[in-house]
Amino acid sequence: MVIGKDKVVEFHYTVSEPGAGELENSRDGDPLAYLHGHDNMIVGIEQALEGKQAGDHVTVTLAPEQAYGVRKDDAIQRVSINHIVKPGKGPLRCKPGMVVHLNTAHGQVPAVVVKVGLKMLDVDTNHPYAGKTLAFAIDVVSVRDASSEELEHKHAHAAGGHHH
């Protein structure tokens, strides 16, 4: 089956910054799944996967505009430490450079800690990869038709269903 609109695509990836090495990969876990053609994937990846099928290997290098966007200088915000999602039990210990998740009206948003205060944090809400040229190595694992529920919800559901 060929990747196109309304197909659920599962793939493994490695992303690196040319000249700086690997940033992350999915190969030790489950493949990433998304609903193609519904703005659920960065635009450059979706374009590179269009027309591909299970078993294909794709490599693509994306400028910031095709990946996570350009850095915005006005994305530094001061937030209450109460808006940080605690990753586990115990006290929250934030340090500059640490990636945290903020609770917002639009769900959790990643941010990088810039400065730590007693009750407030200065955070950079740019995506950690914003402003970077990124190289992706992608292995397409599977392609299938989306279910009617996935089309209604406009995103892929994991095996065994999905709960909102």
Enumerate domains of the chain plus CATH numbers.
7-69+129-153 (3.10.50.40), 73-124 (2.40.10.330)
Task: Please name the helix (run of DSSP H) or strand (run of DSSP E) that holds residue 77, with its range, or none.
Answer: strand 76-80
Distance CA 72, CA 124 (A): 9
Average pLDDT estimate for 33-40: 94
163 pLDDT band, cuts 50/70/90, is very low
pLDDT tens string 61-76: 999 999 999 999 899 9
> 12: which 2 tokens?
């493994």
128 pLDDT band, cuts 50/70/90, is confident
Which residues are bridge partners to 125 per DSSP?
Answer: none
* Paired sense of beta strands 7-17 and 99-104, if any: unpaired
pLDDT at 108: 86
